[in-house]
């Protein structure tokens, strides 16, 4: 993609907010969230500081997998509204300074998609080769992504008289993306949504898109990126690639011309290992191994997402440590590799550690991604099975159904959280009026992030010091330096830091405003409370910018 100006690289310093229309706000009170309801809550998201909405699938779907089983790529699920509502929502978001990206789910379709229904009807049907078929089961069949739910990746279809391939659930047959006709269809999908005003895509399950059937076609990924660039000069692609760094780097492309951004699953998983140990070392070690990126690329940092907290890049022993600390009961785990809980209950609802984690996320080099409800500390629904536990309705107030809908509770897509995390105790309305709330803290972190271009653009360095429980990192640009400190232990620590080129430092400004910090030369001495955190701007002689 041709970049004409750095302002085209808006994703470098964006604040992403992921939501599911289905569970965000119900405006017509039928029990199901809708695009009109989302439009009515854009003022809230603008006030929060969000600059880019990421919408989970809202397309027509039988919704056996949270909408990721798509039966029509060119529409809106009638439960959520229609295309006119979508266009109006995008326009309203743009008016409030927010961009919009949507999920691109083209590794598979729903079994109910017309393509698959046609494909299974006859071996001579033109859609047959849109999917992958076999007469016999392969001797060396690969494992399914959900080994506790599916027995392999091939399922017999009586009507077709063959086995069809599915990397995920059996109701999600894999598309044959090696087929030029399928690639043409995918191009039409991309062009359609870009024409409606979106700013890019979160690309689902990228390795499965280009590596199925022994293929490893990064040229196809480059083609998609180029097409997005041609159709939208500032369009981007945020990819889901849960692989080790050395493999993940290939998905950015040799010159940064494949995925624009990728989620940092490696750092995310080692963050939880560090939290379990109250030792920042596991996270510091992997951050030091992060590959350098081309100017147009960026990392997406996150704490939780709409799926399980996957731990598959930890060793078995490390995974056991995290399970023991944060998912001691088998019902809290899924697929043998993940946790189906939100952050606050995992951390014992300790506001100190919760706020520290989000401070860390916003200060790490890259762009932050919030999952809806994180800003108020929503909990999971412990009685719901699987991933649904973290997909409950947004909690707007202490009213019935958390203010999400006035419909009967039984008409909601999922029940609201119960117990200590219920809307009675955790909701937007109450936290808006509480200056000590998590919501106010997140707003403050977003405001500080927006004043700190070093986070999106700066050179990253871990600053060594003697406390393994404290992570200290620096981000430097030609016009400024930011140093962030985070204490993973529950007791106070004193930190001494030798600043690079420290002789010309004239001021140290606390960007989060917790207390003044004097500096008179030599090592920088900082006191951190238990789970304490600081963002410090280092101001040198001749620099005018201190805030």
Q: Which residues are catalytic?
A: 204, 240
Beta strands 309-310 and 338-339, pairing class:
antiparallel
Q: Are 109 and 175 in contact (CB under 8 A)?
A: yes
Q: Which residues, including other chains, have CB under 8 Å from residue 161's CB and lie 6 or more apart?
A: none
Six-digit token pair at 120? 């299974």
**What is the SS3 string spanning 43-111?**
HHHHHHCCCEEEECCCCCCCCCCCCCCCCCCCCCCCCCCCHHHHHHHHHHHHHCCCEEEEEECCCECCC
Six-digit token pair at 427? 């909701």
Phi-psi category of residue 461: left, alpha or beta, with phi > 0 → left and psi -120 to 50 → alpha:
beta
Number of Cβ within 10 Å of residue 414's Cβ equals 15
**What is the SS3 string spanning 381-426?**
CCCCCHHHHHCCCCCCCCCHHHHCCCCCHHHCCCCCCCHHHCCCCC
End-to-end CA distance of the chain: 34
CA angle 56–62–64, rounded 5-degree value: 75
Six-digit token pair at 281? 């070392």
Q: Are 99 and 51 in contact (CB under 8 A)?
A: yes
Number of Cβ within 10 Å of residue 236's Cβ equals 28
Eight-state DSSP code of residue 386 = G
Pairwise CA distance, residues 342 & 127, whole Å: 41
DSSP string, 473-487: EEEEETTEEEEEEEE
Q: Are 264 and 305 in contact (CB under 8 A)?
A: no
Q: Radius of gyration over alpha carbons of the chain, in Å? A: 24
Q: For tokens 């958390």, what's the residue?
A: 402
Six-digit token pair at 506? 């004239």
Pairwise CA distance, residues 281 & 471, whole Å: 8
Q: Are 486 and 471 in contact (CB under 8 A)?
A: yes
Pairwise CA distance, residues 258 & 253, whole Å: 5
């Amino acid at each position: 993609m041709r970049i004409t100006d750095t302002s085209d690289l808006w994703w470098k310093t964006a604040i992403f907010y992921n939501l599911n229309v289905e569970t965000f706000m119900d405006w017509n009170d039928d029990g199901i969230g809708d695009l009109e309801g989302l439009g009515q809550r854009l003022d809230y998201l603008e006030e929060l500081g969000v600059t880019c909405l990421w919408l989970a699938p809202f397309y027509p779907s039988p919704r056996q997998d949270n909408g990721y089983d798509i039966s029509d790529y060119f529409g809106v699920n009638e439960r959520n509204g229609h295309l006119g509502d979508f266009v109006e929502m995008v326009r309203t978001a743009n008016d409030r300074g927010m961009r919009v990206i949507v999920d691109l789910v083209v590794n598979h379709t729903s079994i109910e998609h017309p393509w698959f229904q046609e494909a299974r009807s006859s071996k001579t049907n033109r859609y047959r080769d849109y999917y992958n078929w076999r007469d016999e089961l392969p001797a060396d069949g690969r494992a399914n992504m959900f080994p506790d739910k599916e027995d392999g990746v091939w399922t017999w279809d009586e009507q077709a008289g063959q086995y069809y391939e599915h990397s995920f659930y059996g109701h999600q047959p894999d598309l044959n993306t090696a087929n030029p006709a399928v690639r043409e269809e995918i191009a039409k999908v991309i062009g359609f949504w870009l024409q409606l005003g979106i700013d890019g895509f979160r690309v689902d399950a990228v390795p499965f898109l280009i590596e199925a059937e022994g293929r490893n076609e990064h040229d196809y990924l480059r083609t998609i990126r180029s097409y997005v660039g041609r159709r939208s000069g500032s369009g981007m692609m945020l990819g889901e690639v849960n692989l080790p760094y050395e493999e993940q780097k290939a998905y950015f492309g040799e010159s940064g011309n494949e995925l624009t951004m990728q989620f940092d699953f490696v750092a995310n998983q080692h963050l939880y290992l560090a939290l379990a140990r109250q030792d920042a070392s596991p996270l510091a070690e992997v951050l030091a191994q992060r590959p350098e990126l081309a100017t147009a690329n960026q990392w997406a940092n996150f704490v939780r997402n709409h799926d399980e907290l996957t731990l598959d890049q930890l060793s078995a022993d490390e995974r056991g440590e995290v399970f023991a600390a944060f998912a001691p009961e088998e019902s809290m785990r899924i697929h043998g590799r993940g946790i189906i809980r939100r952050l606050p209950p995992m951390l014992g609802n300790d506001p100190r550690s919760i706020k520290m984690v989000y401070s860390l996320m916003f200060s790490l080099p890259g762009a932050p991604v919030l999952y809806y409800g994180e800003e108020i500390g929503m909990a999971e629904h412990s009685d719901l099975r699987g991933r649904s536990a973290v997909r409950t309705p947004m909690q707007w107030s202490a009213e019935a159904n958390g203010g999400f809908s006035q419909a009967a509770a039984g008409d909601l897509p999922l029940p609201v959280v119960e117990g200590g995390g219920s809307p009675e105790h955790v909701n937007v309305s109450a936290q808006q009026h509480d200056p000590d709330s998590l919501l106010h803290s997140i707003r403050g972190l977003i405001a500080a992030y927006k004043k700190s271009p070093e986070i999106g653009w700066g050179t990253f360095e871990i600053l060594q010091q003697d406390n393994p429980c404290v992570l200290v990192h620096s981000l430097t640009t030609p016009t400024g330096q930011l140093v962030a400190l985070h204490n993973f232990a529950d007791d106070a620590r004193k930190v001494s830091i030798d600043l690079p080129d420290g002789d010309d430092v004239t001021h140290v400004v606390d960007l989060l405003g917790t207390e003044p910090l004097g500096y008179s030369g030599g090592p920088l001495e900082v006191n951190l409370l238990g789970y304490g955190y600081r963002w410090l701007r280092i101001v040198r002689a001749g620099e005018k910018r201190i805030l």
